[in-house]
Amino acid sequence: MWAPVTWLDTVEAALSEPGARLVAMVDTPFEVRPLDESTWPAFAALVEANNGIFGGCWCIGFHPEGTAGSATANRDRKLERVRAGTTHAALVFEGDACVGWCQFGAPEELPRIKNRVAYEKGMTDPPDWRIACNYAGKGHRRQGVATAGLSGALDLIAGLGGGRVEGYPEDAASVPAGFLFHGALSTYERLGFERDRKIGKHRWVVSTRVDPT
C-alpha cells in the first residue's frame, strides 16, 4: 500500500546507511536565535510569564554561583552573564515571542548538573560542551519547542568550533515533564546522541560529536 513519505522517513532512511549520523536536522516552524543582549528582553518576558522558572531560578542554577536569595538577584546575575557573554542558550522564537530555550556551555560554565556526584565518579574524559536546561513555556509544550531548542544549540555549538557534547536527560515516560530539567532522552537520541552511562534512577549521560561549521 502507498504511504506518504515524511521528513522523518527520509531522516530514518539516511540514518540506516552504515556510519551515518544525525547531528542536527529538525523540520520546525520555529526560529532559533542565541541569547544575547538583543534577545534578552524576549527571554526575560518568557521567564517572567513563567514565574521566574521554579519560583525565580532565572536559569542560573547550573552556573557555578548557583541561585541567590531572591528572584531579583538571580535575574541580575543572569543579565550580568549575558552582558559578559558568559552564558549561552539557543532561544526558540515563534514570531517575536521567545517560547523556550536550550542552555548550553563549557563544563566550567555549567558545573552544577543534576546527579553531579554520580557523574563525576564515572567521568573519564570531560566533554567540550554540555547541554544544561531545556525549557518550553507553559502553553507551548508538546509542539516541538524543546526539540527545536536542542537542534539549535547544536548548530550554535558547531558555529563556536564544535566538539564533543554531553547531555543528561531522563526518559519522559518515567519522569513528569515538569521535572525534565535536562530534557527528554528521546529528543537527544532523535538528534544523534548516544547513551553512555546511567547516573541516576532515570538519568543518562548521552553524547554526540558536532563538527565545526
Positions that interact with ligand COA (CB under 6 A): 53-54, 100, 133-136, 141-147, 172, 177-178, 180-181, 183-184, 186-187, 190
Please report how close the Cβ of residue 202 comes to ligand COA at its closest, in angstroms: 13
Question: Residue 163: beta bridge partners?
Answer: 210
Select from 109, 147, 145, 149 the least CA-distant residue to 129: 109
Is residue 194 helix, strand or coil?
Answer: strand
Q: Which positions ≥6 away from 48 have C-beta within 8 Å?
A: none
Please report how close the Cβ of residue 124 comes to ligand COA at its closest, in angstroms: 26
Contact present, 188 and 102 (Cβ < 8 Å): no
Residue nearer to ligand COA on the CB measure, 190 or 209: 190
Angle in degrees, CA 191, 153, 63, rounded to 5: 120
Q: Report DSSP letters for 34-53, one per residue.
A: E-STTTHHHHHHHHHHTTTS
Residue nearer to ligand COA on the CB measure, 18 or 139: 139
Residue nearer to ligand COA on the CB measure, 187 or 207: 187
Please report how close the Cβ of residue 79 comes to ligand COA at its closest, in angstroms: 18
Residue nearer to ligand COA on the CB measure, 1 or 173: 173
Please report how close the Cβ of residue 189 comes to ligand COA at its closest, in angstroms: 8
Residue nearer to ligand COA on the CB measure, 56 or 183: 183
Q: What Å distances lie between residue 101 and 52, 68, 73, 79, 137, CA to CA?
A: 14, 22, 21, 16, 9
| DSSP state letter for 72 | H
Residue nearer to ligand COA on the CB measure, 129 or 181: 181
Please report how close the Cβ of residue 161 comes to ligand COA at its closest, in angstroms: 25
Please report how close the Cβ of residue 125 comes to ligand COA at its closest, in angstroms: 25
- Tell me how far apart the alpha carbons of residues 60 and 77 are, in angstroms, rounded to a whole number: 7
